[in-house]
Each structure stands twice: as C-alpha cells, then as structure tokens.
Structure 1
Amino acid sequence: MIRGLLLSLLLLSPFVAVADTLRVATWTVELSRKGPGLLLRDILKGDDPQVLAAQAHIRALSPDILLLTGFDTDLDGHTLAAFAQALDYPHLFTRPGNSGRPTGRDLDKDGRPGEPEDAQSFGAFTGQGGVVLLSRLPVMEEEIRDFSELLWRDLPGANLPEGYFDEKDLDVLRLSSHAHWDIPVLWQGRPLHLLAYAAIAPVFDGPEDRNGRRNSDETRFWSLYLDGALEAGSPAAPFVILGDSNLDPKDGDGDRAQMQALLADPRLIDPLPAADHGADIANPGQIGDPRLDTADWSDPVPGNLRVDYVLPSVGLRVVDAGLAWGAGQGEIVFRHALVWVDLAAIP
C-alpha cells in the first residue's frame, strides 16, 4: 500500500485555534492539467489565473476543513504543499489515489490497452484530478483508514455489469475511482471522522452501464460502512461524509435512488446547503430545487445538478450551511460551488 502524505507546515503567522464553530467544506475545484507536474509548475509561477482565483475563493470562505476534489496529486505531495503555501492550513493530507492508475487491462474493450480509459478510472497519469485535504485541525495519521484498494467485486452485493469484465479484469479493478478515506481529525479533544470520496461520473460508457453501476456502488459503500458490513467495522461517531458523488438525487444520469437512500439515512443530517439564487439557473424539465445545485454544466444536458455534499452525523448540530460560487476573473469559470456547513462544538 502506498504510504500517505501528511504535512505539517510551519506558517509565518502563529496558528490560531479553531473557534467553537467548525466550517467543513468540499469543493470540486477542477485544478487539473494534461500531464504530471504541470499543475505544480503553474502554482509555482505565481501568476496562474485559475490557481489565484481558487486560492482567493478559499480565503474568502475560510473553511476549517476543506476537501478538494479534481486536484492533481503527486506521490510526494509537492503540488498540494505548494498550493497551500498561500493559505492558512497547517495540516495537509493526500495520497495519489486511483485516477489514472494503470491496470494493465483493456477495460473499455476497444482492443487498445494502456489508454487513459483503461486506468482504474480515466486519467492520463496517476493522481490526475485527485483528492486532497486541507485542515486547521490535526490529522490523526495513524488512525486513517484507506479503502481505495478494495476490489469492486469484493464489495458486498457488488453491482457489476454482467458479462462485461473478465476474471482478470476483476482481479485488479478497484471500487474507488479516486479514493475512499476515513480521516480522523482532532476537534475539541476527540476525533471527528471525515469520510471522504470522489466518485466516477455515471456516463461515458455503453449499454453495460459500467460507470453508472460503479458510481452507485461508490456511494453505497458508505451505507455499508455505517452498517458495519465491511471487514473494517464501522466508523465511530461523530463523522461527516463529504465529497463529489457525481450523483443527483432527482435529476441527471445515474442511480438516483442510491443518492436518495444516503440522504435519507437516519444516521445522517442533510443540511440542504443552498445558494441565494434559483429560478435564474433552473433547467427546464428538472424537478430538483435549483438552489441546491452544486454543479453548473452545459445546458440543457446535463444542466445544473446537485452532486457535491457535506453530510454530518446525527448528534452534530448544524449552525449554518450554504453554497459559494467562485466568480473568478475574465475567462476563469468554476463549474462547481464550494459547499460549506458550520457545525457547533461537540458537547
């Protein structure tokens, strides 16, 4: 197993203790480039408009815990460390994850193995569009659980496309298109478990629906984990599920019933983070509340969807929640909103 990266940065300003209210956020930032090291290059230049706009948006919202998805990672964490230099986060965590990781198999069955489509999930290099955590709370590194190597077929009740993958495919194909992590951070003297993930888009496949089925199982994983149905047992409360499910409960492609089931789980709170607009971004024919949409994609298909979530466990008290769309400058457009939830201190 690849060892994770945990960085404790020495900042120029003294570390300020987190207030009683904790802001937990996720953002599909889409800071990705076409080759390894290119995002690091752009960050180090110091003048990349997309990087600067992303950093400014994070500073404006100032979450205490921030999970970024769609962020290029590297084995030693240099890209994340460089990005965080302009921000106030003394604790960083990432692992390269599964996107772009070679499988040695022809997973799209086009007769040409070794293409980006044949990786664990689409990617030109390992860690492309990956997942990173920035935190003002200490990360309990020794207690982290990483489920990213779990084979898809080993998930209880795996919804594999019948007859599509052969046995050698299934010997290597992982459930996680990017990552599934249980990351405890220390808050008010006790662990708060961050159940973090980013799922594959339930499109770009064929009638076998391999991406749709995998997307559904990536979200169903959390229900199984909470049930204690996995060998690792269940997470200790309190916890927060956060990340990009690529799955709207009411609109768009994918197994919407699976997202509905997670949102209705009595062990979770859906804070319903909303933006202060709605009708002006609504897509004709959609039934979901447009104020809750977190992604602004091409109209009319797929249109705007709710795919990014921060879901605290019951027992935590939600003080406030919302969506923050990054305006950017000029041609810089962020297609996802930053989703944030403020939690009260644990009694």
Structure 2
Amino acid sequence: MPIRVAIFNVSMEGTNYVVLEQAVKGNELSQHLQARNHPQIKNIAEIIQRIRPDVILLNEFDYSPQSSLDIQHFIKNYLQVSQSENPIIDFPYFFAGPVNTGVDSGLDLDGDGNASGIRGDAFGFGLYPGHYGMAVLSKFPIQTQQIRTFQYFLWKDMPNNLLETVKNEDGSDYYSEQAQQILRLSSKSHWDVPIKVGNQSLHILSSHPTPPVFDGYEDRNGKRNHDEIRFWTDYISGSESSAYIYDDKGQRGGLLGEHFIVAGDLNASPVEGSAMPSGISGLINHPRINDTMSPKSEGGRTHSPDNINGAEHTAGWRMRVDYVLPSSSLKVANSGVFWPTQDDPLHHLIKDRQSSSDHKLVWVDVDMSK
C-alpha cells in the first residue's frame, strides 16, 4: 500500500506573527500553538488534514528547547481538531532538533563591522537560535536511535567546496581565514530521519538550504545553497563520494539504507531563479533519484500561464523550490501540489503568506514493495 510523504514550508516562524523587532525572543509560535485559535495555523492544519500525509517535513517551524511541547500543541490543538469539518489527523511520532539559524558564530561574517551574533553573523541567518527550524511528523515509528544530524559539519570539509571561491571583486577572500575554519555547511541542518514502515526503513533526508540571494558579488549564499544541496547528492552516492561526511556524533560516511526521500524547501530550481543550477540538477538527475512523476498543480499552471514550468511551481513567486524526491528503489504512485485555482472555494487557504504560507504543500505517494 502506498504511503504519502509531504513537505510544507509552513512559515510558522516569529516574523510571520509580529514585526521584525519584536521577534527576537523567539516565543511567538509557542504562544499561538497554546492559544489554539490562530487563523494561519488553522489553515495550515486544514491543508494537512485535506492532503493527509503519513509523513511530513515542516520547514520554518521554529525550534526551541520546548519544541517537543510545541509540536504536541500543534498536533493536539490544531491537527486533532477538525478544521472546516475535515477529519482530524494524528502523528504519534515526531522529531525536531537544533539548527544553525540565529546561533552566534562569534565573528563578523557579513562584513558590516559589527559581530552582532544574529542575522548575517549567525551560523545560519536568523534572529534567535532555532529561527526557521524544522520538524518531521510521522504516523509510523521513527527510529530515533538511528537518526543522523549534520548541524556541525564544516563547509571546508566538503571536497571541492565552493567556500574557497567566495571572493570579493578584487580577488581577496570574502571570509576571513578564521571564519573559513568555523563556518558550518548547513544554514539550518541536514537530517537523516529513518521511519519504520513494516519491516523496512524509509530515510527522510531533510534540509532547508539558504536562499541563493541576499548577498553580493561574492555570491556567498548562492554557493552555500549549491553545496548544501550537493551534500545530499554525495550522501546517496556510495562510499567513495560520501567518505568525507561525518555526523554530529562522529559517524562517518553516507546513507545506510535502500529507500529514501529527499525532502525540503531547497530554494533552488534548475531552470529558474538565482540558484546555481548544477547543484539541484545534479540531485534531481541522480541515478538513485526517481523524479519521473514530478508534482504538479493546476493552480500553479494558472498562476503562471505563460511559463512552461508553471504547473511544477511550488511557491507563490513562481518557482519549483520545494521537493519530495523519492529514491529509484521506490515506485511512485501519485504526486501533487496543493494549489487550488482562484475560482476554487479552497483558494483562500493558500492565497498569501498570511493565509498559510508563500509555499505550497508538496506530496508524493510511494510504494516500498517495488
């Protein structure tokens, strides 16, 4: 029987609820999850209830030391409450971990003369630790002891990395030697979260690379985005390509398993936008990836009627950036993007970021019995 795996950048982060200056405490999400009545979160829950995934990665779900409680509140107060008379949905298993956003690097990384500890001087852009975090929710047991996280993996330790090419116009290094020694690859984190489905494991390879914009001539974000995506390409490519990788517990090497899904808002398209196309193209076209049934929607097509790729778009700003990429060991039964057209009664759920998110939920049905 197919299982449905989804990714949804839910915009459940502090600056979506208060003005920028007030979001520095990072507790806005917790307050709304306890209050049970925030309209944007109710719409997020309704979308999930309608699509009914078995496993879902939430991007931009703020992380904090009380994230387990936050996720429980989201499940109990929103997902287990019928939204617009839809059947409730439950996820007995979940995982959330720390991310690099808002974590003080101790250095002036963005070159503004002030080592602020936040925004561009953090290991990942953010106003507080855990900003723009992630969470995996599952109906199937998560093999907790086998989870691998790569929050601390250093960018410099990736062979042929693009960190070495981050240069100013005069050819000098954008990052100081000290910065190059401590910079982490992941702007949030990379996670390998194995899910137990029957007697098999399905590895949910989760991440949220930095947007390849908001920089300058040096293209530091574009190059980091490329290498964050390339990490997964190497991770699934076998021992020779993945030997350099080490996780946060010191275990070396890449994927140990047959079935996987690369999931996340990867902030890159091979045909549109500012990303270096070789990063995302290398992943999509990898022989261990099955992208034969790329998710599509009528809403995306009508949103960009003059764009040949419009049906594959997953964000309101007209690009495919959110991915659920199954391994070639899996048979894809169906896929889609939740994007109702403007004349659909459900369009109010996705019309803008305040309604739910500027991204759409993307899902794929896979059969592990192939």
Contact residue 327 and residue 334 of structure 1 kept, 8 A: no
1:251 maps to a residue whose letter is: E
Change (3 A) 1:329 1:317: closer
Question: Which of the numbers 8, 27, 32 marks the counterpart of 1:37?
Answer: 27
* Amino acid in structure 1 at the alignment position of 2:111: K
Cα deviation 1:164-210 (Å, max 9, x = unaligned): 11121123210000110111110121111111111000000110000
Sequence identity (%): 35
For these two proteins, the number of residue pairs brought into alignment is: 320
Q: 1:73 aligns with which of 52, 59, 63?
A: 63
Quote the offset at 1:346 in angstroms: 2.4
| Mean Cα deviation higher: 149-158 or 329-338 | 329-338
Q: Does 1:48 align with 2:38?
A: yes
Look up the SS of the partner of 1:212 in the other structure: helix
Query: Structure 2: which amino acid aligns with 1:275?
Result: S
Alpha-carbon shift at residue 307 of structure 1 (Å): 0.3
C-alpha distance in structure 2 between counterparts of 1:226 and 1:46, whole Å: 40
Please list every run of at least 4 consecutive aligned residues from structure 1 whose deviation after the TM superposition is greater than 4 angstroms: none
What is the distance in 2 between the residues matched to 1:345 and 1:154? 34
Q: Note the C-alpha offset of 1:126.
A: 0.7
Kindly state the Cα deviation for residue 252 of structure 1 after the two structures are TM-superposed: 0.6
Q: Give the match for residue 335 of structure 1.
A: 358
Q: Does 1:130 align with 2:133?
A: yes
2:325 is paired with a residue of what secondary structure? strand
Hey, what does 1:289 align to over in structure 2?
Answer: 309
Residue 233 (structure 1) aligned with residue 247 (structure 2): no
1: distance between equivalents of 2:198 and 2:369?
Answer: 7
Who is 1:118 aligned against? 121
Q: 1:139 to 1:329 in 2, by over 3 A?
A: closer
State the distance in 1 between where 2:124 and 2:254 align.
Answer: 26
CA shift, 1:279, in A, is 4.5
Q: Which is richer in helix? A: 2
CA distances 1:77-110 after superposition (whole Å, capped 9, x unpaired): 2222211223300001001211111111111000
Q: Distance in 1 between matches of 2:301 and 2:364?
A: 23
Moved more, 79-88 or 28-37: 79-88
Relative to the length of structure 2, the TM-score reads 0.83
Q: Hey, what's the Cα distance between the residues in 2 that align with 1:219 and 1:101?
A: 21
- How far apart are 1:262 and its partner, in Å? 1.1
Q: 2:338 matched to 1:316?
A: no
Contact 2:300 2:314 in 1 (8 A): no
User: 1-side partners of 2:188 and 2:310: how far apart?
Assistant: 27
Matched residue SS, 2:330: coil
Gaps of at least 5 residues in structure 2 are 15-22, 80-89, 168-172, 246-251, 340-346
- Separation in 1 of the partners of 2:311 and 2:276? 21
Structure 1 unaligned spans of 5+: 1-19, 298-303
Match of 2:106 in 1: 104
